[in-house]
């Protein structure tokens, strides 16, 4: 009995919901009564989120009203069905009984039954059409809103200050675009109309049941609190195991990740046995909590079915009595039974809806929070444009800290003449890129000013400022696209000739031509089909093409082979000619030739000057430099 009649309910779980949007979170554990078992997030400010969300729905007001109306109508038609069907059955039954009793002229009233059947065909078809139209409109609204959310997030990313990404991992931002928006999408397409029809269903069915027999309705309703009690009990019990399961799964995955990632160490230190012991312990714990949570959540359906059967039998017996007494017809019992069946599902759905709404609200809140983050300082009202950039850069008492409370650059001043070469040196993690970030105005200084050709960079438009610089970072950024697309990123409207010329200057033309499709060869998603050195050459080509007035370069460290290294050096030297250049330097030759050396330590500029002067000063730079020689002597 567990399934009979259920498929006949408009409120029954959508049979295809399991393969719903395969947006990554499909899985058999989603939706239905199971969802109640998953501890989900909660919105901090539900009302505010809802209000914001409603503004997104506003353009679709009319359509939403239609959806509501259609949904009500569709459900209502479906509700009337069993009642009418019951009438037909009663009439059929009466005919049969009359015939059995040899009532003269007794016959089954096929006219009447036929009329009802036809009427029902009409109703069901109408209900289906309305349901479909409703779903069709809703799908449209949901996808459009989803699209808008994603677009807004993408645009927002561009307007956020870089600072924001210091505190957020890329994964978190990514999860807003995909997971959170997806949750909203699913709720809108599936759950929302389901909730509407569930509520209509509950009200409608209640009315219909009451119209048949208030006594039977009362009996049927008694079942509800019992069901809820059971659900609560199971949820309470299993949630603990679910948490334990998630926890051990986390531990287990962590251990696997750690051991596989450190396989070389595990094996070279003969640590296999210990690793396996820990694994077995975690695995056993995972097994225990795993089967328990699975079992308990799986108990939900059979237990609910039994409780519903309990109600069913009670209704049947009571109905049988009432029918025998003659209070109601046989068909009414049938109709009532159908209604009882239809009653449980929407109730469960509405109970579950609170959970769904909570997690959707939480997702929406995260999206809105992101969209509400403070943006970059607006552009200057009267931006100054520097014509014919010479490349004079002045740091005037610059004061900066990622966290204003903890300044890393205290009071830095220097005057860099056009065409000069500035080497930034210091140990790893000393904050060499901070200078770069300030120059490009990814961050704004907290005090003092940076002037280019005498103009404070805050008075320029960011776009104009950044156009003056070319940037070649060690952390090369290539995207999934062709070589041509990647090079022309420096100048989107560049002609093929220009792209090739830039590639030639960067000494990467030959390499590209040896690739299967030359300039149209795709660089794959992880850019793993080209070496680190070639990547660097490509970004140099990009900078050549952009033809900037000033340069920011990051020298390669160890991961490039000698020959490519020579090529890179040559290309960089070519690029730096007559351009004011900032070089994050690792090579002593570069450092010695620089007009200015900025020595950084722990995020601060501790010394600046020429190589010879700095050596003479016998400070941090001198000790850094001398250590090279000590190194040699030590061996």
Of 203, 259, 357, 386, which lies in the binding site for other proteins, with binding defined by CB under 8 A? 259
Residue 424, beta-bridge partner list = 584, 598
Nearer to other proteins, 296 or 500 (CB): 296
Nearest CA among 228, 300, 288 for reference residue 38:
300
Nearer to other proteins, 43 or 537 (CB): 537
User: In angstroms, what is the minimal distance from the CB of 532 to other proteins?
Assistant: 8
Instruction: Tell me if 127 contacts other proteins by CB under 8 A.
Output: yes
User: In angstroms, what is the minimal distance from the CB of 617 to other proteins?
Assistant: 17
Instruction: Tell me if 51 contacts other proteins by CB under 8 A.
Output: no
Pairing between strand 393-400 and 409-416? antiparallel
Rounded Cα distance, 249 and 256, in Å: 10
Mark the segment that binds other proteins (CB under 8 A) among 157-165, 211-219, 398-406, 572-580: 157-165
Mark the segment that binds other proteins (CB under 8 A) among 129-137, 211-219, 232-240, 609-617: 129-137
Instruction: Tell me if 68 contacts other proteins by CB under 8 A.
Output: no
Residue 446: CB atoms within 10 A of its CB come to 13
Please tell me the number of Cα atoms within 13 Å of 459 on its side-chain side. Answer: 12
Of 39, 132, 417, 573, which lies in the binding site for other proteins, with binding defined by CB under 8 A? 132
Please tell me the number of Cα atoms within 13 Å of 24 on its side-chain side. Answer: 8
Instruction: Tell me if 230 contacts other proteins by CB under 8 A.
Output: no
Instruction: Tell me if 612 contacts other proteins by CB under 8 A.
Output: no
User: In angstroms, what is the minimal distance from the CB of 542 to other proteins?
Assistant: 8
Of 409, 455, 560, 575, which lies in the binding site for other proteins, with binding defined by CB under 8 A? 560
Instruction: Tell me if 334 contacts other proteins by CB under 8 A.
Output: yes
Instruction: Tell me if 108 contacts other proteins by CB under 8 A.
Output: yes
Of 64, 177, 228, 350, which lies in the binding site for other proteins, with binding defined by CB under 8 A? 177
Of 229, 276, 573, 616, which lies in the binding site for other proteins, with binding defined by CB under 8 A? 276
Restricting to residues 589-608, which ones interact with other proteins according to CB under 8 A? 589, 592
Locate 381 and state its tokens: 């009202």
Restricting to residues 340-379, which ones interact with other proteins according to CB under 8 A? none
Of 143, 277, 529, 618, which lies in the binding site for other proteins, with binding defined by CB under 8 A? 143
Rg, the chain, Cα only: 36
Residues 331, 332, 338, 341, CA torsion sign? negative
Nearer to other proteins, 23 or 415 (CB): 23
Rounded Cα distance, 434 and 447, in Å: 15
Instruction: Tell me if 622 contacts other proteins by CB under 8 A.
Output: no
Rounded to 10 deg, the angle between the 110-159 and 330-371 helix axes is 10
Q: How far is CA 212 from CA 334, 508, 515, in A?
A: 11, 84, 79
Restricting to residues 491-550, which ones interact with other proteins according to CB under 8 A? 492, 525, 531, 542, 546
Instruction: Tell me if 135 contacts other proteins by CB under 8 A.
Output: yes
Nearer to other proteins, 405 or 633 (CB): 633
Rounded Cα distance, 33 and 250, in Å: 24
Of 54, 57, 65, 129, which lies in the binding site for other proteins, with binding defined by CB under 8 A? 129
Instruction: Tell me if 218 contacts other proteins by CB under 8 A.
Output: no
Rounded Cα distance, 464 and 162, in Å: 18
Nearest CA among 275, 271, 555, 597 for reference residue 423:
597
Question: Burial level of 579, CB count in 10 A (0-12/13-18/19+)?
Answer: buried
Instruction: Tell me if 71 contacts other proteins by CB under 8 A.
Output: no
Instruction: Tell me if 618 contacts other proteins by CB under 8 A.
Output: no
Locate 583 and state its tokens: 């070089």
Of 65, 269, 372, 613, which lies in the binding site for other proteins, with binding defined by CB under 8 A? 269
Q: 338-350: buried (b, 16+ CB within 10 Å) or exposed (e) per residue? A: bbbbbbbbbbbbb
Mark the segment that binds other proteins (CB under 8 A) among 51-59, 104-112, 228-236, 353-361: 104-112
Of 44, 51, 115, 151, which lies in the binding site for other proteins, with binding defined by CB under 8 A? 151
Residue 404: CB atoms within 10 A of its CB come to 10
Cα first-last separation, the chain: 85
Restricting to residues 444-483, which ones interact with other proteins according to CB under 8 A? 462-463, 466-467, 469, 471, 473, 477, 479-480
Nearer to other proteins, 15 or 105 (CB): 15
Rounded Cα distance, 255 and 152, in Å: 38
Q: Quick one: how far is CA 523 from the chain centroid?
A: 25
Mark the segment that binds other proteins (CB under 8 A) among 360-368, 385-393, 574-582, 583-591: 583-591
Instruction: Tell me if 246 contacts other proteins by CB under 8 A.
Output: no
Instruction: Tell me if 244 contacts other proteins by CB under 8 A.
Output: no
Nearest CA among 442, 471, 433 for reference residue 551:
471
Nearer to other proteins, 390 or 467 (CB): 467
Restricting to residues 298-317, which ones interact with other proteins according to CB under 8 A? 298-299, 301-303, 305-306, 309-310, 312-313, 316-317
Instruction: Tell me if 214 contacts other proteins by CB under 8 A.
Output: no
Residue 396, beta-bridge partner list = 449
Rounded Cα distance, 146 and 182, in Å: 8
User: In angstroms, what is the minimal distance from the CB of 292 to other proteins?
Assistant: 8
The CA-based angle 344-11-130, given to 5 degrees, is 155
Rounded Cα distance, 437 and 98, in Å: 94
Nearer to other proteins, 43 or 190 (CB): 190
Residue 470, beta-bridge partner list = 551
Nearer to other proteins, 351 or 440 (CB): 440
Of 275, 327, 380, 414, which lies in the binding site for other proteins, with binding defined by CB under 8 A? 275
Of 206, 215, 221, 256, which lies in the binding site for other proteins, with binding defined by CB under 8 A? 256
User: In angstroms, what is the minimal distance from the CB of 104 to other proteins?
Assistant: 9
What element of type H or E holds 86? helix 61-100
Nearer to other proteins, 47 or 169 (CB): 169
């Amino acid at each position: 009995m567990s399934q009979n009649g259920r498929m006949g309910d408009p409120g029954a779980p959508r049979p295809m919901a399991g393969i719903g949007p395969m947006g990554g979170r499909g899985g058999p554990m989603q939706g239905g009564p199971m969802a109640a078992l998953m501890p989900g997030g909660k919105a901090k400010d539900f009302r505010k989120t809802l209000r914001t969300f409603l503004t997104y729905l506003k353009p679709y007001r009319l359509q939403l009203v239609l959806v509501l109306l259609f949904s009500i109508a569709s459900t209502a038609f479906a509700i009337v069905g069993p009642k009418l069907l019951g009438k037909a059955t009663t009439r059929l039954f009466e005919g049969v009984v009359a015939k059995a009793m040899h009532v003269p002229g007794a016959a089954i009233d096929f006219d009447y039954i036929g009329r009802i059947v036809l009427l029902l065909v009409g109703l069901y078809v109408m209900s289906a059409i309305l349901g479909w139209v409703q779903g069709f409109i809703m799908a449209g609204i949901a996808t459009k809103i989803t699209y808008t959310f994603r677009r807004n997030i993408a645009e927002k990313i561009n307007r956020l200050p870089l600072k924001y990404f210091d505190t957020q991992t890329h994964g978190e931002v990514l999860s807003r675009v995909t997971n959170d928006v997806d949750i909203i999408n699913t709720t809108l397409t599936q759950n929302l109309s389901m909730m509407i029809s569930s509520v209509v269903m509950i009200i409608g069915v209640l009315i219909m049941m009451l119209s048949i027999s208030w006594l039977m309705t009362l009996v049927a309703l008694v079942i509800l609190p019992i069901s809820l009690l059971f659900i609560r009990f199971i949820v309470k019990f299993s949630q603990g195991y679910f948490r334990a399961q998630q926890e051990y799964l986390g531990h287990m995955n962590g251990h696997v990740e750690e051991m596989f990632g450190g396989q070389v160490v595990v094996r070279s230190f003969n640590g296999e046995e210990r690793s396996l012991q820990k694994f077995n312990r975690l695995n056993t714990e995972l097994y225990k909590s795993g089967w328990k949570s699975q079992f308990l959540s799986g108990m939900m359906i059979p237990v609910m079915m039994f409780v519903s059967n309990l109600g069913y039998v009670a209704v049947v017996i009571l109905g049988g009595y009432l029918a025998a007494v003659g209070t109601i017809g046989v068909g009414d019992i049938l109709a009532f039974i159908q209604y009882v069946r239809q009653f449980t599902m929407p109730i469960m759905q509405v109970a579950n809806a609170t959970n769904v709404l909570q997690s959707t609200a939480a997702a929406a809140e995260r999206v809105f929070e992101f969209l509400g983050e403070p943006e970059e300082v607006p552009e200057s009202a009267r931006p100054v444009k520097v014509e014919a950039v010479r490349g004079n850069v002045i740091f005037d008492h610059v004061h900066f800290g990622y966290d204003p409370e903890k300044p890393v650059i205290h009071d830095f001043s220097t005057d860099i003449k056009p065409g000069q070469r500035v080497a930034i040196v210091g140990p790893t993690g000393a904050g060499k890129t901070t200078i770069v970030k300030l120059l490009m105005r990814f961050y704004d200084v907290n005090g003092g000013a940076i002037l280019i050709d005498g103009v404070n960079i805050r008075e320029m438009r960011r776009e104009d400022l950044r156009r003056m610089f070319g940037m070649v970072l060690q952390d090369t950024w290539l995207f999934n696209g062709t070589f041509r697309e990647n090079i022309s990123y420096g100048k989107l409207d560049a002609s093929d000739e220009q792209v090739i010329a830039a590639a030639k200057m960067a000494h990467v033309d030959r390499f590209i031509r040896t690739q299967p499709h030359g300039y149209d060869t795709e660089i794959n998603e992880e850019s793993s089909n080209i070496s680190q050195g070639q990547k660097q050459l490509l970004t140099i080509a990009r900078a050549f093409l952009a033809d900037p007035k000033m340069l920011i370069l990051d020298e390669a460290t160890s991961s490039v082979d000698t020959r490519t290294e020579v090529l890179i050096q040559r290309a960089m030297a070519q690029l730096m000619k007559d351009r004011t250049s900032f070089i994050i330097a690792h090579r002593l030759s570069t450092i010695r030739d620089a007009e200015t050396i900025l020595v950084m330590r722990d995020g601060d500029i501790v010394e600046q000057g020429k190589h010879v002067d700095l050596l003479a000063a016998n400070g941090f730079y001198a000790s850094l430099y001398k250590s090279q020689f000590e190194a040699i002597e030590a061996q």
